[in-house]
A and B are shown apart, each in its own frame.
Chain A
Amino acid sequence: MNSPADTTAVTDFDHHSATFAERPFEALAELRDTSPVAWSTAHGGFWVITDHEHVVDGLADYATFSSTSGPAIPANPFGTRHIPVAFDPPTHGLYRKVLNEWYSKAEITRREPEIKAMVEQIVAGLAARRSWDFVADLANVSPGAVTLGILGWDPARRLELLDVMTVSMRNQANPDPDVQEQNAQRNVWFREQILGEAEDRRAHPRDDLMTVVATQPVVGGAQLTDEELCDCVVLLLLAGFHTTSGAFTALLAHLQRHPEDRLRLDQDRDLIPDAIEEIIRIYSPATAHARRVTTDTDFGGVRMKEGDWTLFVNMSANHDPDAFPEPEKVELGRNRAKSVAFGWGVHRCLGLHLARLILRLEVEAVFDLLPGYEIDLDRAELSGRMGQGYFYDSMPAHLPGKA
């Protein structure tokens, strides 16, 4: 790893640390105000980029800032060659083209009735119980279930798979060798499940995405290898899971603190999509994206060397007052054109139309089926893993009359 020059701002910024999780927005504001492109000594050393201008410039410049070493610091416990996020153009586009068809706005709109029914069934279950946890019982369940539906997996298996993902992602930055060994074992198990599904589709093709990735030629006329297939399916499952969960619970927390906004959204449902965009701007479901420098380059006033790691902090860019006046203020109708909540550039979120739909359907179902619901914010637990995204681990809630 190269050492930065003497003039470089040096920090021990660690997005996976407990100190960051305690006050993420303040920590990022301090960094952004003093040195928007700084060298962090954490995790072996990396450039940390926190202002909007340089985050969008860097993420758009895939030729200089490559994804091919994986988009996370440290590496994702389920692998670093995920398809398509760990590829640059032109290979990236070949993979993405296949997946785009399944996540286009038109395709997601076509699936709305089935997704709506799935969400409503989950929420109706909460109504029957009268008290529940919005994280474990709704936010963590519906995105994974919908993704498994698009892939064509048995919805009954969703909890088992979601549990495995949750544990490993929680332990991503845990240095304990035993914990990392357990993560490795879960990764092996996960991949066995994927290959089992793929084998089934090769014998019995169906109209689902699993059949496409298991049987159809993708890149240069070749079928995906078993490894590539796993790298693709793992990503589809992981990418939409915590992110959508975090977005939903952040919105609920906001509405609990601001009953006037809750009333407005309930009475004017057309405002829900804007509210979702504004909440994910402030409470980033994905904190940051890592890239690796391909060639010596001057960027943001520093000299970066080939091979350097960089971390583009979306959570910080979305709080940059130069891009968003009064950035901490929730303004339901704010222009979202500059928001990097779904990323920026060729890797911009594949599932963004799906995420928007799931979130809207969840909010509508909660308003319709859980009238007067109350969240016990004092008992809600924010995640200690803000380095991945702004997540809640727990958000207890109940219908009126039962605490």
Chain B
Amino acid sequence: MRIDIDRTLCEGNAVCEALAPMVFDLDDSDQARVLPEALRPDGTVNDEHRMLVERAADGCPRLAITVTG
């Protein structure tokens, strides 16, 4: 799957990190990012944590996370 975070929407509420900590965290500027270790070379993310990632996308207060594929 592919995960896109709209950084113009993200405001660092950290709900994604709470729901799927193996995929998301906040960077130094308090914005959500996909963990480098979760990213594959082609920019996609392993499906292993799909359910939690979808929960994180649904739970994001700003709807800043899009999951495709």
Contact = CB atoms under 8 A, between A and B. Distances in A.
B63 to A, nearest CB: 8
Interface in B1-58: 11-15, 17-19, 21, 25-26, 55, 58
Contacts of B21: 56, 60
A111 to B, nearest CB: 15
Contacts of A96: 61
Nearest to A350: B61
A337 interface: yes
Q: Give the interface residue-count category, chain B.
A: 10 to 19
Given A104-B11, A337-B26, A353-B11, A348 B18 contact: yes
B5 to A, nearest CB: 15
Contacts of B58: 89-90, 93
Q: Give the interface residue-count category, chain A.
A: 20 to 34
Contacts of A345: 15, 18-19, 59
A96 B59 CA distance: 9
Nearest to B20: A60
A348 B17 CA distance: 11
B25 A337 contact: yes
B17 A337 contact: yes
B2 to A, nearest CB: 22
Contact of A100 (B12, B55, B61): B61
B11 A60 contact: no
B17 A346 contact: no
A352 interface: yes
A53 to B, nearest CB: 11
A59 interface: yes
A262 interface: no
Contacts of B11: 104-106, 353
A344 interface: yes
Contacts of B14: 337, 348
Contacts of B13: 348, 352
A344 B18 contact: yes
Contact of A89 (B17, B26, B55): B55
Contact of B15 (A90, A348, A353): A348
Interface string A77-118: 000000000000110010011001000111000000000000
A201 B21 CA distance: 42
Nearest to A93: B58
Nearest to A352: B13
A57 to B, nearest CB: 9
B51 to A, nearest CB: 10
A265 to B, nearest CB: 20
B17 A104 contact: no
A90 B57 CA distance: 12
B25 A346 contact: no
B59 to A, nearest CB: 4
Contacts of B59: 89, 93, 345-346
B62 A104 contact: yes
A378 B25 CA distance: 42
A93 B17 CA distance: 17
Contact of B18 (A56, A100, A352, A353): A56
Contacts of A104: 11, 61-62
Quick one: which of B12, B18, B55 has the most chain A CB within 10 A? B18
16 contacts: A59-B18, A89-B58, A100-B61, A337-B17, A337-B26, A344-B18, A345-B59, A346-B15, A346-B18, A346-B19, A348-B13, A348-B15, A348-B18, A348-B61, A352-B13, A353-B11
Interface of A: 56, 59-60, 89-90, 93, 96-97, 100, 104-106, 337, 344-346, 348, 350, 352-353
Query: A-B pairs with the 3 shortest C-beta distances?
Result: A105-B11, A346-B59, A345-B18
Given A106-B11, A348-B13, 12 more contacts: A89-B55, A93-B58, A96-B61, A104-B61, A337-B26, A345-B18, A345-B19, A348-B18, A348-B61, A350-B61, A352-B13, A353-B11
